[in-house]
């Protein structure tokens, strides 16, 4: 199994970099309009992007999403990401640590993150389906989970909820019954705060409440509209000649709740939210925060940059930060708390969905916060 | 006449396979959004797709629509379909049995279905316009209808309502007055339950109530958005050089009520509904069931597969079933009854139509079933 | 001036036939949905299309719009149209009769209509701007108007309102003040009923009431979405090298109220309405009648057919009638009075406009007439 | 710095003329529908376009927007614009006068405007960010501002609010804190009325109220949908090889409130409004006035015409005026005051935004002013 996982990790990276794995459906960020302030009364240079997440201050609200590990190629990527996270004061995740739990030789491909980023907020990563017994392997024990945390001296643990990916992955883990119970037990026992993290299909209202009841400290709403794990598996299936799996992966490419919608839906749980999925600029970061996110995750853009060089990651970050600051200045928000109080006009499909789901009043309030 | 019908049957198949007979209008399935459940608490392998229809349990809610018969070519197609229906526990229909009633030599092209599928739920097929006297031929007698049922030892009888096709077919039967009365008489006398089946133009609210008052046991809403019988006749007309008929057929290609709308409209009759028309994946099957369908029919995809081989039909079915199960797992529905209780967000043209027709409250309820 | 008008008449025909003069804006007929009736209980052959207009029974509700006259080429076109009108029992108009009033040599190009269609409902045609003094010529006298009526023994007189065309025509009549008063005087004095006829920019609610107060017997709402007189003048201007006029004509190509909207707006005046503008099939004819029209006009399609041959006009009419009858049968309307009682679902831009203008309740009523 | 500004002024013109700097987002003018009046009772030639702005009568409501100055090339452009303004009785602005304040040699490139247009309403131009100390240069003194006014004997002073442009310009002034206070002081002290002028990102409700409280006499809402200063800076950045700046400029190309929306939002301040941004015809001018604008500005079209010749500017003006008059006649408005009372139907994204921001009732009122 070791080699299988290792091989899959490599394929995930190469496929993601070589194929279009974004969903064809519009992410919906274009439906989110910040209202321009002609005289913003804020100096661009003094815009303050510091965020507080789970009690820690971060220099900016961008998270480098969980992406990789478990393969020598991944080590360079993780090193580049971690160096940048350290320099810019970001939070960052590692990819699923199963590979290293199964094969200790792979530990350094994850541990490199802490080596390079001693001060950063680092997030361990374990799959929700692996919290229970699966057909092909038993549930992780608490001690294994603790091992994953220790491996990178993590500040928090992300439990990624990827039922869609497992379902469309040829060798995927198809069981999900009992995960909530296992998660509830885990949050009670584990030493760091737990983040429940979707990987591209979004978290709705009811699931946000369920996750809160399971004791998670934060939710990454991981919505549709960015990298699609289903499209990723479709591309892998095609490269293996598995036509049917490829078609199923393609069909489910559009499945899921777009990130901005998930953000509003999950908001009712009152937990800190990370908005991930299709965020492609500092302007999108600003939109997500104005809709209520505490942090904003980006995956693919960082993967691409880090596969080139550390410098590219820094460039991407600087550009993103500049874009975020411009959005903040022009919206009249000197800091992130103010950004959560600016007027936001939501239109298009995003509005149609939310209105039908009972959020029409909330949308009106969002559009008229300054009145 | 015998040869004319036989020839038409062949043309229908070849034209359908060679030309684009789908309507250009969007079917509207993309307007139907199931709400992703990040922790569905369901194992994919235990998802239960068994359905109950007219008192019979079926292994899955997919029906192979009435397609063909009446020509030697059709025999192979029907054999392939029937073998698969038997194996997977599906219901299946045969094409209009007029050809065999008029020319007994053609009986085997239909009977093959029962030969190959002794256990399956098999549906006989007669046209509604043929229940009354037409210009060129008299109404079928009760005994002829019973003959059609007996020919395949049918479990139910579908009366297909294809006024659009008859109107756009050069040699079509143009009378429809008296059909409701004839149908009422037939449902009272015939030995099996009767399904009123539209063939691509949909069943609205008022017609569903009319059909219920005629004593039918179920309605196949057969909506617009999939194979268009009008486009089929247009293509036939063109191949015969009948320009005017071709243009009329093209014009009416878009006529009719899209399947998802018809499903909601017809729902008020409280009868079991089959959703047919433009269903192209197991995800569409799930959408239809979540909107209230008891079974879901597919025509063209099965015709195409069966014209290739039995194996292709099996592959299509397995893929469809897998897709359906994924949709169910990710929506948090372990069985079809639960699938009818999940949240469904309806947007776009589908919502606009239904809202104006008085279903706005129902759409709100659908979107918030879990609250 | 004689020759100028004669020359313009020829240009209008040739330009219309050679250039695309339809507006780019969607006519909006696709926003009008008749609700399919699966068991319509009507025989196609018994569908009754007879209409009553201003006290006269007509075999079908289609009007051949005012198109031409005033040039030898026009004579053939008018002859072909009139023969078909006589044969099929249609109403038909002639083009503006100014040319013949100014130059009696041209009378036969109009009179041919009555020669060929002794029984048809024939409509004389005079421009509204010519009811008042213009810069380049005085107002028509009552006796001149009577002369126009007598010229073709007209059953009614259409006063075409073409302010848009005059404004965009290089040599156009730019005055409109006093037209309403002149029209009021005319309707009181003239011997036949007067139809106020827009030529492509539509009649709104308030103007319909104004026209009623002027004593007109019927309104042709002549809406946007079909032939654009502005585009026609743009094309003429281009052929004369008048760039600025061409650009202005192009700009105003989209001006005006689309026909379906105008039909609903003008409906409040309670007068018989003719729906003209972008009607391109018998299905559109049915849509217009279901929205409340008494008759439905088509211009360009008849111009094109008649410029080919009498037979083409007959073919066009037969096809249109067949299409209309199919729409009626499938909507469950055995005659035109019933067609005005069927459910009509209005969506898209048409609904958006009408809803904002205060017709939302009317749209709901239209969509639920059968309840 | 002198040369830097001079050089930038040249680049602005050449880049604007050579590259597409319009925003990809639709300006939204197509969402604004004037309601056609079939019998408008107005002679085209008597349509009165005179406007009153800040106590001055102008022959027509079109303003030539602030565009250029500060470079020899600009002198010809300004001369052509001023000659036309004088001839047609328009108001016109000059580009930012900073260049001439810093380098007196450049004064003639602005002063030419007053030389050529002794009677015209001429508007001086200073940037809002330059009212406060910036990193690279101190705030303008009152005396410098008066110098700018005197330079062209200006009738009013526009303070352009271009925070977006400064933020996306490589060498831009990034401070905005204190601008409102400085503006308040300025309006109290300066000898001519002050116009607060956005340059393409629009003025929202709250900002309009802020500007009123600062004592400005009028607001140019300068909305998104026409020339984008951000796209302009992106194009400049590209020509300098500054990739990151280019990408940021591109990203913000779509930022801002579209002009028609800004017009309605800013309307609540009750000040005279100039509508600038994406106005491309006399029809757009009419739409803006019907929505409440006092004057309507056009930038790019005048820049393009003036860079060709004086005659092209005259042609553009005559065409625009003719188009405006046609719109007025056909809407039934003999003068601009009447044009502000005609029915306006607002659809699409413009309506969606305004409705959510609390203007739904106002939109209903606009659509039914004549009732
Ligand atoms: C190649 C690849 C591998 C990923 N692996 C993981 C993973 O191991 N664990 C996890 O929680 N998310 C994983 N993700 C999901 C990302 O963390 C993120 O949620 C997703 O990419 C959506 O963000 P984006 O649209 O910005 O790319 C992966 C994404 C990609 C593209
Ligand atoms: C070639 C062809 C022949 C058909 N013949 C019949 C028929 O004889 N009786 C009937 O009830 N429906 C008939 N149908 C309609 C189908 O049963 C089904 O309603 C229709 O194809 C819509 O489903 P689809 O979009 O999945 O193809 C036929 C369809 C096709 C394509
Ligand atoms: C070439 C041409 C000439 C026309 N001349 C007249 C006319 O003289 N009088 C009139 O009332 N309408 C005239 N019309 C307008 C038509 O009667 C009709 O209103 C218009 O064509 C819209 O209908 P359509 O979209 O079906 O073409 C003319 C239209 C065309 C295309
Ligand atoms: C090349 C160029 C230079 C401009 N310079 C100024 C300026 O110096 N001051 C100012 O207030 N606006 C300036 N503007 C903005 C215009 O005045 C106007 O607001 C903008 O072009 C939007 O109008 P449009 O879409 O009609 O072009 C400039 C615009 C362009 C295209």
Amino acid D307: pLDDT:
96
- Residue with CA closest to ligand 3 atom 19: C199
Compute the distance from residue C198 Cα to the ligand 3 centre, in Å: 9
Q: If you average pLDDT over residues B23-48, what whole number do you get? A: 90
Reply yes or no on whether the pLDDT at A131 is more than 90: yes
Mean pLDDT is lowest, of B25-39, C169-183, C283-297, for B25-39
Chain A residues touching D204 at Cβ < 8 A: 35-38, 343
Per-residue exposure over C31-45, b if at least 16 CB sit within 10 Å of its own CB, e if not: bbbbbbbbbbbbbbe
**CA–centroid distance, residue D68 to ligand 4 (Å):** 8
Is pLDDT of C68 > 90? yes
CA distances from B344 to A253, B288, B367 (A): 19, 10, 5
Report the residue from D178, D204, D251 with minimal CB separation from A323. Answer: D251
| Band of pLDDT at residue D23, cut at 50, 70 and 90 | low
Which of A319, A343, A371 is opposite residue D247, by nearest beta carbon? A319
Across the range B151-167, mean pLDDT stands at: 98
Atom of ligand 1 nearest to the CA of A16: 1
Cα distances from B355 to residues A162, A197, A352, C343, in angstroms, run 35, 36, 13, 14
List pLDDT tens digits, range C244-279: 999 999 999 999 999 999 999 999 999 999 999 999
Measure C266 CA to ligand 3 centroid, in angstroms: 20
Is residue B313 lining ligand 2, measured as CB closer than 6 Å?
no
SS (H, E, C) chain B: CHHHHHHHHHHHHHHHHHCCCECCCCCCHHHEEECCCCCCCCCHHHCECCEEECCEEECCCEEECCCCCCCHHHHHHHHHHHHHHHHHCCEEECCCCHHHHHCHHHHHHHHHHHHHCCCCEEEEEEEHHHHCCCCCCCCCCHHHHHHHHHHCCCCEEEEEECHHHHHHCCCCCCCCCCHHHHHHHHHHHCCCCEEEEECCCCCCHHHHHHHHHCCCCEEECCCECCECHHHHHHHHHHHCCCHHHHHHHHHHHHCCCEHHHHHHHHHHHCCCEEEECCCCCHHHHHHHHHCCCCEEEECHHHHHHHHHCHHHHHHHHHHHHHHHHHHHHHHCCCEHHHHCCCCEEECHHHHHHHHHHHHHHHHHHHHCCCC
Please report the sign of the dihedral spanned by the C-alpha atoms of residue A249, residue A254, residue A260, residue A261. Answer: negative
In a 3-state reduction of DSSP, which class is residue D216?
A: coil
- Give residue B26's pLDDT: 63
**pLDDT beyond 80 at C27:** no
Q: Which residues of A touch B318 (CB under 8 A)?
A: 244
Q: Do the interacting molecules here have an ipTM over 0.85? A: yes
Count other C-beta atoms under 10 Å from residue B18's C-beta. Answer: 10
Residue in chain C closest to D344 (alpha carbons) equals C357
CA distance linking residue D211 with residue C295, whole number of Å: 56
Atom number in ligand 4 closest to CA D226: 25
Mean pLDDT of C209-232: 97
Pocket lining: B65 vs ligand 2, CB cutoff 6 Å: yes
Give pLDDT, residue D312. 98
**Confidence class of residue C26 from pLDDT cuts 50, 70 and 90?**
low
Provide the pLDDT for residue C219. Answer: 98
Q: Which ligand number lies closest to the CA of residue D158?
A: 4
Residue D7 has a pLDDT of 86
Of A42, A315, A348, the CB nearest to D176: A42
Q: Which chains, if any, share at least 3 CB pairs under 8 A with chain C?
A: B, D
Cα–Cα distances in angstroms (integers) from residue B19 to residues A148, B223, C248, D47, D154, in the given order? 57, 20, 44, 58, 71
pLDDT, tens digit (0-9, with 9 covering 90-100), for C94-149: 999 999 999 999 999 999 999 999 999 999 999 999 999 999 999 999 999 999 99
Q: Which residue's CA is the closest to the ligand 1 atom numbered 19?
A: A199
Integer Cα distance of B222 and D215 in angstroms: 66
CB contacts of B252 in chain C (<8 Å) are 283, 323, 326
Q: pLDDT value at position C131?
A: 98
Nearest CA in chain C to B133: C43
pLDDT averaged over every residue in chain C? 95
Closest residue to D37, CB basis, from C128, C177, C207: C207
pLDDT, residue A18, reads 83
Is residue C24's pLDDT more than 70?
no
Chains C and B touch (3+ CB pairs under 8 A): yes
Mean pLDDT of C189-198: 97
pLDDT at B25: 53
| D1, pLDDT greater than 60 | no
Please write the tens of the pLDDT for every residue from A1-36.
567 888 888 888 888 888 777 755 567 999 999 999
Nearest Cα residue in chain C from B201: C36
**Per CB distance under 8 Å, which residues of A are interface residues toward D?**
33, 35-46, 281, 283, 315, 318-319, 322-323, 326, 329-330, 343, 345-348, 351, 363-364, 367-368, 370-371
| pTM for the model | 0.97
Cβ(D6) – ligand 4 distance below 6 Å: no
B127 CB near ligand 2 (under 6 Å)? no
What pLDDT, on a 0 to 100 scale, did the predictor assign at position A5?
A: 83
Distance CA A131, CA A158 (A): 12
pLDDT tens-place string over residues D264-302: 999 999 999 999 999 999 999 999 999 999 999 999 999
Please state which of the ranges A156-165, B30-39, D2-11, D99-108 shows the lowest mean pLDDT.
D2-11
Q: Which of B24-28, C57-61, C284-288 shows the lowest per-residue confidence on average (mean pLDDT)?
A: B24-28
B307 lines ligand 2 (CB under 6 A): no
Distance CA A231, CA A21 (A): 5
User: Of A11 and C334, which is predicted with more confidence?
Assistant: C334
What pLDDT digit, counting tens, does each position of A272-302 carry? 999 999 999 999 999 999 999 999 999 999 9
pLDDT at A23: 59
Selected residue with higher pLDDT from A23 and A104 = A104
| Tokens 């007025």, residue located | D328
Residue B302's contacts (CB-CB under 8 Å, 6 or more residues apart) are B64, B65, B67, B81, B313, B316
Residue of B129, B136, B160, B163 for testing the chain C interface, max C β-carbons within 10 Å? B163
Q: Which ligand is nearest to the CA of D23?
A: 4
Give CA–CA dist A211/A54, Å, rounded: 16
* pLDDT, tens digit, 9 for 90 and up, residues D222-236: 999 999 999 999 999
- Which residue of A177, A230, A356 to mutate against B (max B Cβ within 10 Å)? A356
Interface test with A, best of B29, B39, B41, B363 (most A CBs within 10 A): B39
Q: Taking residues D192-207, what's their average pLDDT?
A: 98
Computed over every residue of chain D, the mean pLDDT equals 95
Q: Tally Cβ neighbours within 10 Å of residue D32.
A: 25
| More confident site: B1 or C45 | C45
For chain B, the chains sharing at least 3 beta-carbon pairs closer than 8 angstroms are A, C
pLDDT digits (tens, 9 = 90+) for D291-334: 999 999 999 999 999 999 999 999 999 999 999 999 999 999 99
DSSP state of A309: -
What percentage of chain C reaches a pLDDT higher than 70?
98
The CA distance from B262 to the nearest CA of chain A, in Å, is 20
Contacts of A306-313 with CB under 8 Å at 24 or more apart are A306/A67, A306/A76, A306/A77, A306/A78, A306/A80, A306/A81, A306/A84, A307/A13, A307/A17, A307/A76, A307/A77, A309/A80, A310/A79, A310/A80, A310/A83, A310/A84, A313/A80, A313/A81, A313/A83, A313/A84
Residue ranges around ligand 1 (CB below 6 Å): A 12-13, 16, 65-68, 95-96, 125, 158, 160, 197, 199-200, 222, 226-227, 276-279, 298-300, 303
At B8, the pLDDT band (50, 70, 90 cuts) reads: confident
Residues of chain D neighbouring A322 (CB-CB closer than 8 A): 244, 248
Ligand 3 lining (C-beta closer than 6 Å) = C 12-13, 16, 65-68, 95-96, 125, 158, 160, 197, 199-200, 222, 226-227, 276-279, 298-300, 303
Give Cα separations from A56 to A215, A227, C237, C260, D51 (angstroms). 19, 28, 71, 61, 60
How does residue B204 score in pLDDT terms, banded at 50, 70 and 90?
very high
Query: Which ligand has its closest atom nearest to the C-alpha of C305?
Result: 3
Residue C116 CB partners (closer than 8 Å, separation 6+): C79, C82, C83, C86
What number does the ligand 1 atom closest to the CA of A22 have?
Answer: 25
pLDDT at A95: 97
pLDDT above 90: residue D92: yes
Secondary structure element (H or E) that encloses residue A74, with its range = helix A72-88
């Amino acid at each position: 199994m070791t080699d299988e996982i290792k091989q899959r990790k490599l394929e995930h990276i190469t496929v993601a970099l070589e194929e279009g794995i974004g969903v064809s459906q519009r992410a919906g960020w274009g439906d989110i309009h910040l209202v321009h302030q002609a005289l913003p009364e804020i100096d661009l240079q003094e815009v303050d992007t510091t965020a507080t997440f789970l009690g820690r201050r971060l220099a900016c609200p961008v998270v480098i999403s969980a992406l990789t590990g478990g393969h020598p190629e991944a080590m360079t990527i993780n090193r580049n990401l971690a160096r940048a996270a350290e320099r810019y004061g970001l939070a960052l995740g590692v990819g699923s640590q199963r590979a290293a739990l199964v094969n200790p030789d792979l530990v350094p491909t994850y541990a490199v993150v802490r080596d390079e980023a001693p001060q950063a907020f680092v997030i361990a990563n374990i799959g929700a389906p692996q919290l229970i017994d699966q057909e092909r392997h038993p549930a992780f024990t608490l001690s294994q989970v603790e091992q994953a945390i220790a491996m990178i001296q993590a500040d928090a643990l992300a439990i990624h909820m990827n039922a869609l990916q497992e379902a469309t992955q040829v060798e995927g883990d198809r069981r999900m019954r009992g995960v909530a119970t296992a998660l509830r037990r885990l949050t009670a026992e584990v030493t760091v705060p737990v983040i429940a993290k979707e990987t591209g299909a979004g978290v709705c209202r009811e699931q946000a409440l369920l996750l809160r009841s399971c004791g998670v400290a934060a939710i990454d709403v991981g919505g549709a509209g960015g990298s699609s794990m289903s499209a990723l598996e479709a591309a892998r299936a095609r490269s293996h000649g598995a036509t049917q799996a490829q078609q199923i992966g393609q069909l489910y490419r559009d499945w899921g709740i777009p990130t901005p919608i998930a953000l509003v839906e999950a908001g009712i749980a009152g937990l800190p939210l990370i908005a991930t999925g299709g965020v492609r600029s500092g302007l999108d970061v600003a939109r997500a925060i104005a809709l209520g996110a505490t942090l904003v995750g980006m995956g693919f853009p960082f993967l691409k940059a880090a596969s080139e060089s550390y410098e590219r990651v820094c460039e991407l970050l600087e550009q993103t930060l500049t874009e975020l600051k411009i959005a903040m200045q022009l919206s009249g928000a000197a800091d992130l708390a103010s950004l959560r109080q600016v007027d936001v006009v939501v239109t298009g499909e995003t509005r149609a969905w939310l209105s039908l789901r009972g959020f029409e009043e909330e949308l009106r309030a969002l559009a008229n916060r300054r009145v």
